[in-house]
Amino acid sequence: MRKLLFIIPLLGLLVACNSKPAGELVGQSISKVNEISPYGMVWVRGGAFMMGANDQDAFWSFKGESKMVSVDGFWMDQTEITNTEYRQFVVWVKDSIARQLLANVSPEKWRQKKDTAKLNWKRPLPWKQTWEKASGEEDAHADSLWNALKNYNNKFEGLNYVYRWYDLEQAAREYNKFDRAHGHYPNSSFAIVDEYYFDGGVIKMRTKRISPIHSTEDFYMTKIINVYPDKLAFCTDFTYSYNDPTVKYFTLRSYDQYPVVGVTWEQAKAFCAWRTNYYNSNHLFQGQDYRLPTEAEWEWAARGGKQQSMYPWGGPYIRDGKGCYLANFKPMRGNYRADGEVRTAKVATYPPNDFGLYDMAGNVSEWTESSFMSINANGTHDLNPSFAYNAKEKDSDILKRKIIKGGSWKDVAAYLQCGARSFEYQTESRSYIGFRCVKSTNLKKKSAMKNF
């Protein structure tokens, strides 16, 4: 009894010490969420480095002025996006179109019961069934529906992905700031948007429109992108060269772990948007979006944390101590096979850099988020430098140039240097350009996080 009389006051004292004082500013706490390491990605710590060329530029290359910059840490795909990974995106788009067509006829089967606006993804699609048995109806409309569905299974022309994104750059402009004193946006505020519409499943119009701002909803942009890669990319890029067998590069299983090529910058952006939405639909904690890296992020990641390193492996030579080539590129005049591959190589064939990233030099060049201008280094900030312009359909071609980095299987060694840069137009697809994604983090401390 005496012990009980002693413990009760002690507990009261402890509770009183831990309770927050009434009427005082103590801060508003929020629930703690642990961020999961993104699958297939490695952590690239932040740092400062001398960005730009640190060796003599190659002839006809696009020189990047040297400049000391700092970048935050981020997650980055360990390898380039492969054919099998991009194929998951294409198949998802195909299936979503099929489910939408089916839901228009049989909503009770192909939409969720709790939320009729959402499709039912648990019900398997009858791709392998005969179309007559699959429809199960004698309705002429249902028959025509299944015929259309059959075409989507075998063709790529109608595989369009529709997504929305919030244009932070336009929202942050001075003339678009919300007038808090009067409770509305200024009459002079506006956003430039692309406008699309469909005609029989085909994108018929892409035009630039100036839209007045009435709410934050007006800063959302809509994009409609055909997602299928260009299977004729090798044939288009190299004339007077027999490349006909490469038309099956994307569809053959033997090329599953090879980097996807024939993908435009716009398709790469659509992939990032889909990957974000796909992740968020399966996780309670959404986190940051998947996106393309800026030029500065890509170059910092390629250097592996080293200062003034010419190549991702750190040294100035393209062979290791045993005389083996360290990347997939064009080592000799007319000799593409000296490094072991004629065209692209399977991802992670060559050793990684100090960040654990593969193929940051050679194999395929990679799209970045950054727009190409000759004054990029001097015209950008020294903290997370980025120059990105969302070129519209009717904009000049010079505004559609995007920076590519890393060099490729068809390039000589000078283009494999970390500071080397070139460009391609955002609507063009090439047999030597691929991409990988990055993802910023919501957490401040990363020491406790582990990579997969």
Q: For residue range 179-205, what is the model confidence (pLDDT) as tens digits? A: 898 898 999 999 988 766 555 555 555
Q: For residue range 405-449, what is the model confidence (pLDDT) as tens digits? A: 999 999 999 999 999 999 999 999 999 999 999 999 877 655 434
Confirm if 115 and 103 have CB atoms less than 8 A apart: no
pLDDT-based confidence at residue 134 (cuts at 50, 70, 90): very low
Smallest CA-to-CA distance from 372 within 418, 405, 341 is with: 405
CATH code for the domain defined by 58-82+249-439: 3.90.1580.10
Check residue 28 and give its pLDDT: 84
* Alpha carbons 286 and 283: distance in angstroms, whole number: 6
Instruction: Please give the residue that has the higher pLDDT: either 294 or 24.
Output: 294
Instruction: Please give the residue that has the higher pLDDT: either 152 or 405.
Output: 405
Check residue 132 and give its pLDDT: 43
Domain boundaries, the chain: 58-82+249-439, 88-154, 160-226
pLDDT-based confidence at residue 6 (cuts at 50, 70, 90): low
Answer yes or no: is pLDDT of 451 > 50. no
Q: In the block, which residue shows the tokens 């060049």?
A: 365
Answer yes or no: is pLDDT of 153 > 90. no
